[in-house]
Structures are given as C-alpha cells and as structure tokens.
Amino acid sequence: MGKALIIAEKPSVAGDIAKALGGFRKHDDFYESDKYVLSSAVGHLLELYVSEEFEVKRGKWSFANLPVIPPHFDLRPIDKSESRLKLLLKLIKRPDVDKLIRPGGGADFPLPGAIFEGQAAYQAPLAAVHDARRHPGRV
C-alpha cells in the first residue's frame, strides 16, 4: 500500500495537520510519515489566461462586439509560486503516492485534483478530509 499525499492550503495548515496526525519527519518543503506525504500550496499556484488567438484586439471597439468571452481558458503557473507548483507536481508523481487528500477545500482552495490532473497527468483517486484545525479528531 502506498502513501497519501495531503496538500494543505498553506504552510501553517500543513504544520497543524502534521501536529494533529503525529509521526511526521520534516523535510525542506514537506513532511513525511509512514502513511502520508504532506505539503501545501502558498496561495494560488495557477492562473487563468486566454490564448492569444482569442485575445481581444486593442483599439476601437463598440458595444456590438461585447461581451468578448473566449470559448475556453487555459491555466498557467503564477511566476511567484511556480517553484511550489513544481514541488507539488514532483510529490504527486512519486511512485509511492497513490492517493491525493485535500483538507478543507472551501471556496478559497479549489479542488487541487482537477487542477493537477491537467498539469501532471495525475491518475490516483482523490479523497477529501475535514480541516485538521477545525476537527482534529476527525482527520
């Protein structure tokens, strides 16, 4: 049986989860135990962008051309958090990781599985747990 990767919303939440579950060893940017690999995002990791082929041309415009809504948006890494995204993608691709757990997951922290599936071709099942800070006994 492999390990579950827990991706917390931010580093302080990852620390809280590590304390609540116990048995973690701290590495540079993640924790690890016999059952879990635990890391976090640091705010938003990806942003929406519109492909150049759908970019609105600058210049004269009219209300007749509005609204300008592209048929789809793409995702790209945010420059300031790209190193954290690379770390999480590396952890997801570890051969011993077979499950992804997202604590909490309110409106501020969208489902990482959907995002990472596109970025990492991640195929493991997705599980959800309660936020360890609010419900430490239920994790």
pLDDT on residue 42: 85
Number of domain units in the chain: 1
Q: Are 36 and 4 in contact (CB under 8 A)?
A: yes
22-68 residue pLDDT tens = 999 999 999 999 999 999 988 788 888 877 766 655 556 667 767 77
> H/E element holding 7?
strand 3-8
pLDDT digits (tens, 9 = 90+) for 106-129: 545 554 544 555 555 444 444 544
Domain, as residue range, for 88: 3-138
pLDDT-based confidence at residue 133 (cuts at 50, 70, 90): very low
Q: Which residue has the tokens 């135990």?
A: 33
Q: What is the CATH number of the domain that holds 74?
A: 3.40.50.140
pTM to 2 decimal places: 0.69
